[in-house]
Amino acid sequence: MAITRRELITNIAKAGVPAALAVTACAPKLEAETVPVPSGAVGLLYDASICIGCKACVAACAEANDTSPDTRGDGLHQAPNDLNDRTRNIIKLYKPAGGGPSSYVKRQCMHCLDPACAAGCPFQALSKDPETGIVTWTEDKCIGCRYCTITCPYHIPRFQWAGYNPRVTKCELCNTRLDKGLKPGCTTVCPTGAVIFGPRPALLMEAKSRITKSPNRYYQNRVYGEVDNGGTQALYLSHVPFEKLGLPEIGPDSVPAKTLRWQRRLYQYFALPAVLYVGLVQVIRKSLTGHEVEAHERERATGLRAQR
């Protein structure tokens, strides 16, 4: 029994497509994953509405981390304009060109609950402490690929371009000071209490308390970092939109979770060509079986053996 090309394609569609659609439709819906909070998670709460931009925290950070003051601007003052290889903590100014409320913003590592820098590092040179949640860098594991500087949604890690053994620099929450029972350098000198240190749950409670006491003071009456990007251990209050301060609206899913979700979706749709291939094999096998039966019948009727 012969089969035409049109019949072959039609049979493949009949056999494969419904099955493929069934596989796709029956696949479980990809839900957002909840990122666990380390039991001893510590962090920072920065209130932009009370920061006066004195930059005392910048100098204190350099001193606490034994970092050379960055005086490369004018050769005299420690006045970096952004995070860099010598600056782990910076105060920047948001001032809209058309007028409106301005604001200072403190930038340092957000210590994400699900850090993209650690997820993207091929040798786990960046890792998150399972107890405190502090994200640290390990020199011996780093190969200098600088992938962490690309994956971080906040553009925090910086790379030392000078020297034969360059380092990745970022805030590590003064973890060596914490081991001695001290607080991070930046939080010890702030004259207005714009940045404070403590357990993440306590900081979150303090932030919500401030919102409750002054409901119209803060943007969207919201704490940035409570759920943003899966949650962070550096929390922010602001009187201007967070995006104006360099804090993107990422949503509740962390960057690694989003990447993993797309990867799973891609694998899910790989089922479609696989099922079509199985359908094709079944159709061809059925066609060959029918052809052999027909050949045997003709052989018995004519006495002529079919060529194989």
Tokens for 217? 């003071």
**Residue of 161, 68, 51 whose CA lies nearest to 107:** 51
Q: Is 190 annotated as a binding residue?
A: yes
Distances (CA, A) of 239 to 5, 45, 208, 225: 68, 14, 14, 15
Q: Is 142 annotated as a binding residue?
A: yes
Tokens for 192? 């207005």
Distances (CA, A) of 189 to 197, 207, 237, 278: 12, 20, 19, 68
- Compute the residue count for the chain: 308
Tokens for 74? 């004018």
Q: Is 121 annotated as a binding residue?
A: yes
- What is the torsional sign of CA 130, 136, 141, 145? positive
Q: Is 26 annotated as a binding residue?
A: no
Which residue bears the tokens 């079509």? Answer: 276
Residue ranges for the known binding site are 51, 54, 57, 61, 109, 112, 117, 121, 142, 145, 148, 152, 171, 174, 186, 190
Residue ranges for the known binding site for [4Fe-4S] cluster are 51, 54, 57, 61, 109, 112, 117, 121, 142, 145, 148, 152, 171, 174, 186, 190
